[in-house]
Structure 1
Amino acid sequence: MSESLRTRRMTGVGRVLVIVYAIMALAATGRSFVQIVEKFDEAPLAYTLSALSALVYIVATLALVFAGSRTWYRIAWVAIVFELVGVLVIGTLSFVLPDLFAHPTVWSWFGMGYLFIPLVLPFFGLWWLRTHPPVEP
């Protein structure tokens, strides 16, 4: 993909989306690292899920940046759909089985600890992907 095509894709909403995903990747990675290093034995499920969400945000960020290629576009779809399912399932379970999530994850309570950004972000990501399919020569 040419640099000018990538630059055009990464303007406006696309650029903001990538920045928010990158911030979430950093936040989730930092949170999971501290949780796993300091107190993994207290809540291994919750802290493993935090690490999984960090990995998903990293992959989604990279995939959105390179979504001009069909391969990265598909990876972006998979990562963001996985993120959406994760936040909906973990969010629901954290209300239905609160003892299971006494220690919060990034996606607990639908991302309440992150101002519900984890709940809203995948919808914007999927919208952007749908409206910006890859254009390859």
Structure 2
Amino acid sequence: MSGDGTVDRTEGPDDAPPTGPRRILIALYSVFALAATARGIVQISVQFDDAPLAYSLSLFSGIVYICAAIGLLTARSWSRPLAWIACGTELVGVLVIGVASLLDPAAFPHDTVWSRFGSGYGYFPVLLPVLGLMWLRYSAPGRDRDPVD
């Protein structure tokens, strides 16, 4: 902190705008965050009684996508752990809900983002966490090679 009460901040590589695969992941997660959250909010507020589980899961998936986008976008001490947790939660969620929606379609009378492994979204919901986790692993601090941002 400087004498006038402002925080001294020198820009480093973490302050640079994201590029390459990270930028693509952030864009995809942001789009899915907006789509899933908006879908969940509308479904819950308009027709919650039709499929409460499915609509609650849609909103939950939107929150997970928001967390992943924030974790990948920011360069704070909590960002990478948040991204790991969000991508891991997404992968488990899409696999569990994907299997459950195939085994018991009656439990999911209306689709969620993760139903049938994200088939309604071109299977991106099952691919996205794999790519996110791969990028997080590849770009881990202290790796031998320089990560692609």
TM-score, length-normalised on structure 2? 0.84
2:78 to 41, 47, 71: 71
2:132 to 115, 125, 131: 125
DSSP 3-state at the match of 1:133: coil
Alignment of 1:1-137 (within 5 A): 2=11, 4-7=13-16, 10-66=18-74, 68-134=75-141
Asked if 2 retains the 8 angstrom alpha-carbon contact of 1:70 and 1:134, the reply is no
Distance 2:27 2:33 in 1: 10
Asked if 2 retains the 8 angstrom alpha-carbon contact of 1:69 and 1:134, the reply is no
Instruction: Using the aligned pairs only, state the percent identity.
Output: 47
DSSP 3-state at the match of 1:29: helix
Distance 1:80 1:73 in 2: 10
- 1:6 alignment partner AA: D
| Structure with max Cα Rg | 2
What do you get for the CA RMSD once the two structures are aligned?
1.6
Structure 1 residues 92, 2: closer, same or farther in 2, change over 3 A?
farther
- 2:100 alignment partner AA: L
DSSP 3-state at the match of 1:122: helix
Q: Residues 108-133 of structure 1, C-alpha deviation per residue, up to 9 Å, x if partnerless?
A: 00000100000100000001101112
How far did 1:77 drift? 0.4
Superposed structure 1 runs of 4+ greater than 3 Å apart? 1-4
Which structure dedicates a bigger proportion of its chain to helix? Answer: 1
Structure 1 counterpart of 2:3: none
How far did 1:5 drift? 2.6
- 1:100 alignment partner AA: A
Ranges in structure 1 where 5+ consecutive residues have no aligned partner: none
